[in-house]
Amino acid sequence: MMNNSKNLVEMKNIHKCFGKVVALKGVDFQVGNNEIVGLIGDNGAGKSTLIKILSGVYPPTRGEIYIRGEKISNRRYSVRKAHELDIETVYQEKALGEKQSLWRNIFIGRQISNFFGFIDIKKEKEETDKIMKELIGFRGVGVSADSSVGKLSGGERQGIAIGRAMYFNANLIILDEPTAALSAKEVSKVLNFIRKIKESGRSCIYITHHIADTYSVSDRFVFIDRGEIIGEYKKSEISLEEITEKLLMVSAGNSGKEIANEYEKQ
Partner 1 sequence: MNMRNNKISLLGSKGFRTYAVVLVYIVLMGIFMITAPRAFLDYKIYMAFLSTIPFSLVMALGLTFVIIAGEIDLSFTSVMAFSGFIFTYIFIHTGSTILAFIASLTAGLVAGFINGIIIAKVKVPSIIATLGTQFFWAGLAVVISSGRSLIINEIRPSFMYRIFVGRIGGIVPAQAVWAFGLAIILGFILNKHRFGESAMFIGDNRDTAKMMGVNVDKTLIQIFMLSGVLAAFASVLLACEMVTWWATQGPGFLLITIAAVFIGGTSIYGGEGTIFGTVVGAFIIGSITAGIVASGVGGFWTQLVVGLVLLIAVFINTFVSRRGR
**CA distance to 50, 56, 89, 177, 251, per residue, from 43 (Å):** 13, 21, 19, 11, 10
Q: How far apart are CA 161 and CA 88, in angstroms?
A: 10
Check residue 151 for interaction with partner 1 (CB under 8 A).
Answer: yes
Q: 68: left (phi > 0), else alpha (psi -120 to 50), else beta? A: left
Q: How far apart are CA 178 and CA 157, in angstroms?
A: 10
Least distance to partner 1, CB of residue 48, Å: 15
Least distance to partner 1, CB of residue 91, Å: 7
Phi/psi at 67 (5° precision):
-120, 125
Which of the stretches 38-46, 109-117, 177-185, 219-227 binds partner 1 when contact is defined by CB under 8 A?
Answer: 109-117
Least distance to partner 1, CB of residue 183, Å: 17
Check residue 111 for interaction with partner 1 (CB under 8 A).
Answer: yes
Check residue 122 for interaction with partner 1 (CB under 8 A).
Answer: no
Q: How far apart are CA 4 and CA 70, in angstroms?
A: 9
Check residue 96 for interaction with partner 1 (CB under 8 A).
Answer: yes
Check residue 94 for interaction with partner 1 (CB under 8 A).
Answer: yes
Nearer to partner 1 by C-beta: 104 or 209? 104
Picking from 176, 182, 180, the residue whose alpha carbon sits closest to that of residue 156 is: 182
Check residue 131 for interaction with partner 1 (CB under 8 A).
Answer: no
Check residue 110 for interaction with partner 1 (CB under 8 A).
Answer: yes
Check residue 104 for interaction with partner 1 (CB under 8 A).
Answer: yes
Check residue 237 for interaction with partner 1 (CB under 8 A).
Answer: no
Picking from 81, 89, 117, 102, the residue whose alpha carbon sits closest to that of residue 152 is: 102
Q: How far apart are CA 46 and CA 153, in angstroms?
A: 29
Least distance to partner 1, CB of residue 257, Å: 31
Nearer to partner 1 by C-beta: 180 or 230? 180
Least distance to partner 1, CB of residue 99, Å: 4
Interface residue with partner 1 among 84, 97, 181, 239 (CB under 8 A) is 97
Binding mask 61-90 for partner 1 (x = CB under 8 A): ------------------x---x-------
Give me the residues paired with residue 203 across strands.
Answer: 172
Check residue 100 for interaction with partner 1 (CB under 8 A).
Answer: yes
Say which residues have a Cβ less than 8 Å from residue 15's Cβ, sequence separation at least 6.
22, 24, 25, 26, 27, 60, 61, 62, 63
Q: How far apart are CA 263 and CA 246, in angstroms?
A: 11
Nearer to partner 1 by C-beta: 63 or 178? 178
Phi/psi at 83 (5° precision):
-60, -40
- Give the footprint of partner 1 on this chain (CB under 8 A): 79, 83, 91, 93-100, 104, 108-111, 113, 116-119, 121, 148, 150-151
